[in-house]
Structure 1
């Protein structure tokens, strides 16, 4: 019971931090949540890395359902959602999210940790050096569906909402930045819903998972992170008018580079 209380307290604190960062920088919290939860599960539940990474990714993904709905609702009111993009991308995303979650449950936790670290490094480098460039290419439904399939797969595999992947790709294909962010917010809910459901189904009868695990989703972590992140995200949004978010985003990206390196060299 003491461990559960400690985990809940840590997850409430974690949710508060990632909520502010999400509101301030417009990034998904999964990039932080996953490595922190993996450590918490190993430290306080004694879960091996073989299953700790899957649990961390599944639990992180489950929180996106709650935070993503709130964000998507705001973007819908602002008119930042293109229904065609969401519907067509969403079909590919649903399949990609299922495949990504299934893949994550079938590979070694050590390999999954290495893949996660490598993808975090790529996202961080894109945040540092990337620009919202626009191509001269206009695309149709098959390409949108393919973008959704790839984005859903990678995001579900990493336990994130997918905005860091989907937004720059949509902008490249001539989608306005605000529309791209709005569509990514709603698509993130699709990723989280299908990915989380797959993680739950895959781990439903597993006897190696700890108490309070709903498949691979650890409910105390989901509840704790979701509660505080939904409260603190608006605080981060308000801070954007006072702080240089572009500079902060690059600093955060450097932090992610260090996190990914630590994950790689600290593999067990």
Structure 2
């Protein structure tokens, strides 16, 4: 691989880590469209562009979620009772979601990703927060909610925070606990998602050298190497910068990147 591509992956890792720390969001919304565009520029097979981007992004979230989980646990913000009840559904849903994604062609998968990112961006722009109106459901209901969160997370390579945080706050969980618990839920999502994309891409033909299933190892290593250092920088700046305004700008960037990925897929 050319040195300039390794440098590009390092730069992407720096950006992903910084915004994950600053905005409190996972990096999938940034990584997937940029990785798909970069993979296309490197001449990777068109049919695998989005699947490789999703799998690689999900694998990088493993390390990010571990770091975030430790921090939130240290502050006593993780509701482990919720994690235990929702984790089985999350694991099964995420793993199943990778099989769904593997069977969906590149274009419909890219369209679904772009639509979901538009939804997330609208949440950011409106600063939408559901009003607490009910209690958490029972074990079966929690497993079902976890399954839905897992499936969607696998299809768009996110840690699930954009779904689990609104759900928990709607169920009268304090925002600080909802965010911390979401970070803990992100780990099984990332593990199951990474394993699923690895298995589903294992027998795929035409993947680039350096791939392990639908996970492109050079990108995974370079992004992970840098993002763990830049995330704390973003987290510290979150207390000094006008984050509410930055979220609106970030939402616009997500929409632009998703549109760019769609353009790449359509013109490929």
TM-score grouping bracket, smaller chain normalisation = over 0.9
Asked if the contact 1:7–1:220 (Cα under 8 Å) also holds between the matched residues in 2, the reply is: no
Confirm or deny: 8 A CA contact 1:100 1:156 kept in the other structure: yes
Distance (whole Å) between structure 2 residues aligned to residue 114 and residue 157 of structure 1? 11
1:87 is displaced (CA, Å) by 1.1
Cα 1:205–1:261, aligned 2, differ >3 Å: closer, same or farther? closer
Evaluate the alpha carbon distance shift between residue 203 and residue 19 of structure 1 in structure 2; reply closer, same or farther with a 3 A threshold: same
Shift of 1:125: 0.7
Native 8 Å contact 1:117 1:261 kept in 2: yes
- Residue 169 of structure 1 is matched in structure 2 by 167
Question: Could you say which residue in structure 2 is the equivalent of 1:86?
Answer: 83
CA distance in 2, matches of 1:92, 1:130: 28
CA distance in 2 between counterparts of 1:108 and 1:126 reads 28
Q: Deviations over 1:52-79 (max 9, x none)?
A: 1000000000000001000001111111
- The 5 A counterparts of 1:93-172 are 93-140=90-137, 141-172=139-170
Q: Are the counterparts in 1 of residues 56 and 214 from structure 2 also a CA contact under 8 Å?
A: yes
Query: Would you say 1:58 and 2:55 are equivalent positions?
Result: yes
Instruction: Tell me which residue corresponds to 1:74.
Output: 71
C-alpha distance in 2 between matches for 1:49 and 1:214: 17
Match of 1:244 among 242, 245, 252: 242
Equivalent in the alignment of 2:7: 9
Provide structure 1 residue ranges, at least 5 long, that are not aligned to the other structure: none
Match of 1:219 among 217, 220, 225: 217
Distance 1:61 1:124 in 2: 20
Q: Report deviation, 1:166.
A: 1.2
DSSP-derived class of the 1:138 partner: coil
- Calculate the aligned-residue CA RMSD, in Å: 1.4
Q: Report the Cα distance in structure 2 between the residues aligned to 1:17 and 1:261, rounded to whole angstroms.
A: 19
Unaligned 5+ runs, structure 2: none
SS of aligned partner of 2:136: coil
Q: Report the CA distance between 1:130 and its aligned residue.
A: 4.0
Q: 1:161 offset after TM fit, Å?
A: 1.0
Q: How much has 1:156 moved relative to structure 2? A: 1.0
Which residue of the partner structure matches residue 206 of structure 1? Answer: 204
Aligned pairs, number: 265
